[in-house]
Structure 1
Amino acid sequence: MELREVLRRRRMVRRFDPGRPVGRAALDAVLCAAQRAPSAGFSQGWDFVVLTGEDEREAFWSAVARGSSDGPSGGSSGEPDAWLRGVSAAPALVLCLSDPDAYLDRYAEPDKGWTDRDPARWPVPYWDVDTGMAAMAMLLAAVDEGLGALFFGVPPTAHDRVRKAHGIPGNRRLVGVVALGHERTRVGGSSRTRPRRPAAEVVHWGTFGGADPGLSGVAGEGPSDR
């Protein structure tokens, strides 16, 4: 599939068909794409915990929901809402973990020279940024494999329980989760109620608020209209 078609088709899927498993070849392709993501200093400070067994996935959802009213399930009645019922049916979950130490160690090497390993040197936590890019690569690869996918976060109050449930070391950060499967029914999300911001609003030329010089004085449709 052409890249522009993958980008056009990519969307967050929130209802999965539990009766259609993710084939191993497709899953491997998605995970391979994640490992091709860029990383600062080629640190590759990410790990992916893949949950395909029913018991594994139930352990994850139980860890997320237990004793929490701010989890993905929403609400505090104890009953799963439509979001949780739809997403928990996904036959594969990939926990996306970042490893800050991998970056601090890498940049303490001779070609970088930050021997103090001070996180304050980093303008933003690139270990999380790069893991997010790996997750995006998975979302795009899923489209190419004919799968539906969703990236979602885990409430901070549940992180320790998820670590315990799946043996995740304490020095790993749980950036988010990619759910994979086949879409069951399409539901309207924010993209149905909130229009995509046009390029003229989000792309700034030369300075914040600067207009596209290539469109100056040109009438007709702009890139955002196509």
Structure 2
Amino acid sequence: MKVTEAERDSFYKVLFSRRDVRREFLPTPIPKEVLDRILLAAHHAPSVGFMQPWDFVVVSSKETKQKIKQGFQQANQQSADMFDGERKEKYQTLKLEGIEEAPIGICLTCDRSRTGDIVLGKTIKPEMDLYSAVCAAQNLWLAARAENIGVGWVSILLDDVLRENLAIPESLDIIGYFCLGYVEAFQDTPDLERHGWQSRREVKNSIHFEKWQK
């Protein structure tokens, strides 16, 4: 199947307009058919050995989101204390989640034992299953953006909070918790760049030819 120029341009539009959303969520429900398409896209991520190690726990309960938010608040204070001076002050001004505002939360897990002990492609780099699950996160994010739905990745959460509230077995690795919802607007610039935390590196500084260059 050949991709047309219009389809190519649409893909790049989605890619470059993807944002980590924290503050612009609307209470508008996500229709089931839309959420199903997003999850199907995530499920079609590439995976080493075709092991498909991911699972998705979909959260819509207000009570559950409140408990997860409490876990974030504890972890966020712990994180803030790791910074000093002006950096700490700046950190404390940032909004870093939309757990209660977003209509849907999704916890992405990785079952590292799926398909057995020896997996094609994991024989030398056993962490490839984790990378495969992260590919599912990227698919989810891009599919959501194509549906005009914002996504925020909440990494400032202790795994125990998610295990306790979502009944996630200890045998599974937790990749992340994602907030999904329609938004007021998608920002032109990433939040952390917009608020002076970190700027984007120029792509030329990330590319090396033939060998690593300083």
* Same fold, TM-score > 0.5, yes or no: yes
CA offsets 1:182-220 (integer angstroms, 9 cap, x no match):
22465962233444322321111111129xxxxxxxxxx
Amino acid at match of 2:77: S
Distance in 2 between residues matched to 1:24 and 1:200, nearest whole Å: 42
The amino acid that maps onto 2:64 is E
Structure 1 segment 59-208 matched on structure 2, within 5 A:
59-65=67-73, 69-70=77-78, 83=95, 86-102=98-114, 104-105=116-117, 107=119, 112=120, 121-123=123-125, 125-155=127-157, 158-184=158-184, 189-192=191-194, 193=196, 194-208=198-212
Calculate the TM-score normalised by the size of structure 2.
0.76
Larger radius of gyration: 1
CA distance in 2, matches of 1:53, 1:174: 20
Moved more, 167-176 or 81-90: 81-90
How far the C-alpha of 1:84 sits from its partner, in A, is: 5.6
What is the CA deviation profile of residues 104-142 of structure 1, one whole-angstrom value per residue up to 9, with x for unaligned ones? 5352xxxx5x9xxxx8x5435122211111001111001
Worse-superposed segment, 23-32 or 60-69: 60-69
For 1:181, what is the secondary structure of its paired residue?
Answer: strand
Question: How many percent identity over aligned positions?
Answer: 25
Q: Tell me the distance in 1 between the aligned counterparts of 2:78 and 2:168.
A: 22
1:29-48 correspondence to structure 2 within 5 Å:
29-48=37-56
Question: Hey, what's the Cα distance between the residues in 1 that align with 2:106 and 2:39?
Answer: 9
Change (3 A) 1:152 1:103: farther
| Distance in 1, Cα, partners of 2:134 & 2:164 | 23
Secondary structure, aligned partner of 2:95:
helix
**Residues 15 and 184, structure 1, Cα contact 8 Å, conserved in 2:** no
* 1:17 matched to 2:39: no
Q: Which amino acid aligns with 2:173?
A: R
Moved more, 145-154 or 40-49: 145-154
Q: Tell me the residue number matched to 2:4.
A: none
Uncovered stretches (5+) of structure 2, i.e. residues with no partner: 1-6, 82-91
Return the TM-score normalized by structure 1.
0.72
Asked whether the 8 Å contact 1:135–1:151 carries over to 2, the reply is: no
**One-letter amino acid of the counterpart of residue 15, structure 1:** R
Range moving further from structure 2, 136-145 or 54-63: 54-63
Query: CA separation in 2, counterparts of 1:52 and 1:17?
Result: 14
SS where residue 96 of structure 1 aligns? Answer: strand
CA distance in 2, matches of 1:32, 1:56: 24
The answer on whether the counterparts of 2:97 and 2:154 sit within 8 Å (CA) in structure 1 is: no
Q: Which 10-residue stretch deviates more, 16-25 or 81-90?
A: 81-90
> Does the aligned pair in 1 maintain the 2:68–2:99 contact within 8 Å?
no
Q: Distance in 1 between matches of 2:118 and 2:50?
A: 8
Larger RCO (CA within 8 A; separation ≥ 6): 2
1:60 match: secondary structure:
helix
Residue type of the partner of 1:181? G
